[in-house]
Amino acid sequence: MYKDDLVHELIRSAKSYGLANFGVSYIHPLENTNSSIIFNELEYSFQPKSWQATQANPVYSLRTKKIHSNTVTSGIYEMQSSNSSDALAMNIFCFPDFAKWNGVKNLFGVDTFSSIQFGFNPQVAKNGSSDSTEVDVFINKSIICECKLTEEGFTQKEKQNVEQYDNFKKVFHADKLIQNGNTYLNYQLIRNILAAYQHKCHFVLICDMRRPDLVKSFYQTIRCIKDDFIDLRTNCEIIYWQDIAKACGAELQQFLKEKYGIY
């Protein structure tokens, strides 16, 4: 319910934002609008200064070119969607003044933003090797961030697969994790917590205040960390997109309010 309500809100905001800034040509003519707005140009998904910053950085620019996996038209980029949490993250973290704002520094508990990586692979130890799954944002090589907007949840994975992570049984009370038959729910949270443990990092879930279901899943998973790892548990937290918006400058605040209804 929460996800569907947010999708509808984002569609309304995207339509209003698109028409106001790009006219009737803002929307891709061949894509339906039932689950998201697909902007006609990738650039339309971005605050102009954030877009310029992504295109000036070859690594960031390449990330904006991820192909959407569920569109009628081929060659559509994932970040053309009004629902893209990756686009939202890049709009914020790539804004030129982002690293200057003290309010944002305080939110993340840093004195400075020395590095921001998108799509970082922490290579979580698994069965004597490591996996290849990425985390959304890696800040200062010490803060792992999972970014969510309209995603269904944190996915689920077969127990046999999850239990192959080297530190899984060491860190978690497996019997207390939310599970369904042969699968563990909230797999992405489990994996990111294990990544934070392995690399001695903080783990931050960045999500929307309009998704209390995701918040519930977060706390259901955090409480399953064993008491021997209380420091790890306290190093896991939630930061809302709304909290970040309030700490940003007026120009980015206005964009987030208009395009996402985040304020």
Six token digits for residue 24: 């009737």
Distance between CA atoms of residues 12 and 107, nearest Å: 29
This model's pTM is above 0.85: yes
pLDDT of residue 72: 87
Which residues of the chain carry a pLDDT beneath 50?
none
* Secondary structure (3-state) at 51: helix
pLDDT of residue 236: 98
Residue 99 burial (10 A CB sphere; 0-12, 13-18, 19+): middle
pLDDT of residue 1: 78
Domain ranges (residues) in the chain:
1-101+248-263, 104-243
Could you report the per-residue pLDDT of 62-75, keeping only the tens digit for each? 999 999 988 989 99
